[in-house]
Amino acid sequence: MELLMPGLGLIFWMTVSFGFVLLILKKYAWKPILNVLNKREKELAKSFSDAKRIEYEMSQLATIKTTKIAEAEKIHDQIIAKAKEEAESIVAQARERAREEARIIAEKSDELIENYKKAAILELKSQLSTLSMDIAEKIINEEFSDRDRNVRYVNKLLNSVAEN
């Protein structure tokens, strides 16, 4: 029954032993344990505040990233629009140059045709005058005695001129 009801001496010595251990712990171990706990608490508080700060900075960076992406897209759209305008301008200039060159070529070809036409007319006049002279010479050389013969000869010459 001693286990269920300890004696007074046992309680006394256990209390003294406990008090002695408590004094030793208070003198040598209590302060280092509290210092370690305080240090750990400060580190946790610092880590928590750093985490909050990093979270805030990350949200700021996300906002900046979104802004920069929007600016980049705007610049991209402006560059594309400018490139399209320049391409249209270059195409319009090329068309205008092609029209001008076609007009110049047409004018030169008209001028060349006109020159060929004038040359052909001059050649035709020259041949006609030569032919007329030949006809006149042949008519004069031919005897005028027979009038029917002269008319047939003139018709024959005119037919040969018409064939040429």
For 92-128, what is each residue's pLDDT tens digit? 999 999 999 999 999 999 999 999 999 988 888 778 7
* Structural domain includes residue 9: no
Give the residue-averaged pLDDT of 151-160: 77
Give the residue-averaged pLDDT of 41-62: 95
pLDDT for residue 145: 58
Domain residues for the domain of 54 are 39-159
pLDDT for residue 149: 73
State how far the Cα of 132 lies from the Cα of 141, in Å rounded to an integer: 14
DSSP 25: I
Both tokens assigned to 86: 């320049």
Give the residue-averaged pLDDT of 46-71: 95
pLDDT for residue 2: 59
pLDDT for residue 85: 94
pLDDT above 70 (res 129): yes
Both tokens assigned to 127: 């041949």
* Structural domain includes residue 25: no
Best mean pLDDT range from 26-30, 112-116, 146-150, 156-160: 112-116
* Structural domain includes residue 120: yes
pLDDT above 70 (res 7): yes
* Structural domain includes residue 19: no
pLDDT above 80 (res 62): yes
* Structural domain includes residue 100: yes
Q: Give the 3-state secondary structure of residue 95.
A: helix
* Structural domain includes residue 96: yes
State how far the Cα of 161 lies from the Cα of 164, in Å rounded to an integer: 5
Instruction: Tell me the C-alpha to C-alpha distance, in Å, between residue 4 and each of 1, 7, 17.
Output: 5, 10, 20
DSSP 28: I
| CA angle, residues 38, 43, 49, in degrees to nearest 5 | 125
pLDDT for residue 164: 61
Q: In the chain, how many domains are there?
A: 1
* Structural domain includes residue 33: no
pLDDT for residue 124: 84
* Structural domain includes residue 48: yes
pLDDT for residue 141: 67
Could you read off the pLDDT of 65-86 as tens digits, one per residue? 999 999 999 999 999 999 999 9
pLDDT for residue 45: 94
Using CA atoms of 46, 48, 52, 58 in order, give the dihedral in degrees to the nearest 10.
Answer: 90
CB-based contacts of 131: which residues, under 8 Å, 6+ apart? 161, 164
